[in-house]
Structure formats: structure tokens, C-alpha cells
């Protein structure tokens, strides 16, 4: 068994695709509209779905606001240089909600950014 994808509901599909692709560097892998169900699915990721877990962005045509809720935590992304990554994201209009630095009870360097829907993305410094 393996994880295939994580699904999140989004308010504005184009805005979310821009965030995950243009700011976080993922690729739009596929996108399909389902008119009878009034929703669109877009899959984004760093690799193809056969070998990598991806993020499914679900846009329900008739719903334009969601509550992130208190059960969802975050999506984690490994990065080579957490400080440069945060600076680059900021330069592209990204919102950093936790500046890079060591985690509270450890030494792993992390940061958090927020997508247009309020979902948290944890950036984790790759081991050097």
C-alpha cells in the first residue's frame, strides 16, 4: 500500500493552482470537470502519480467558502534551503505564518506558509 493523494477543497481553483504550481513549484498533473456533479478536480505534485503522492484540489462549483476546521493539520514539503525558499515565496506574494527556524522541541528547521484557502504548508529543511 502507499499514499496516493491528499484532497483539499478550495475556494478558487485557478488561485490554488497558481499557489501550488507557481509558488511551491509543483506541476499540474491533470484536471477534469464533472458537470453532472458540478465540481472540478485538479491534481498537482512534484512527480507523476504513479511514483509520488500528490495533492487533489477539489473545487465545488456552488460552494465558495470553506472552514479549514480543527482536524486538518498541514501538508509537509521538503526543501533544500528553507531560508531561501521562504524569501522566494515572499517575493512571489506568499504568506509566511511561521518564519524558518528550529522546531520548538527539537533541531529540525521548519517554517509554515499558508495557501489562499488558509491551509498550512509546512516547509522542512532537508538534512544536509
Contact 100, 82 (CB under 8 A): yes
Q: How far is CA 90 from its chain centroid?
A: 15
Look at the alpha carbons of 56, 61, 66, 71 in this order and tell me if their dihedral is positive or negative.
Answer: negative
Active site residue 122: yes
Could you say which of 33, 49, 109, 122 is catalytic?
Answer: 122
Q: Could you give the residue numbers annotated as active site?
A: 122
Amino acid at each position: 500500500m502507499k499514499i496516493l493523494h491528499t484532497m483539499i477543497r478550495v475556494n478558487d481553483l485557478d488561485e490554488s493552482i497558481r499557489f501550488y504550481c507557481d509558488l511551491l513549484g509543483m506541476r499540474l498533473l491533470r484536471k477534469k470537470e464533472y458537470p453532472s456533479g458540478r465540481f472540478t478536480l485538479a491534481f498537482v505534485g512534484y512527480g507523476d502519480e504513479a511514483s509520488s503522492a500528490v495533492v487533489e484540489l477539489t473545487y465545488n462549483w456552488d460552494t465558495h467558502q470553506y472552514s479549514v476546521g480543527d482536524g486538518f493539520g498541514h501538508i509537509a514539503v521538503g526543501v533544500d534551503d528553507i531560508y531561501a525558499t521562504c524569501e522566494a515565496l515572499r517575493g512571489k506574494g506568499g504568506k509566511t505564518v511561521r518564519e524558518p527556524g528550529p522546531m520548538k522541541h527539537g533541531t529540525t528547521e521548519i517554517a509554515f506558509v499558508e495557501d489562499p484557502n488558509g491551509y498550512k504548508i509546512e516547509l522542512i529543511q532537508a538534512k544536509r
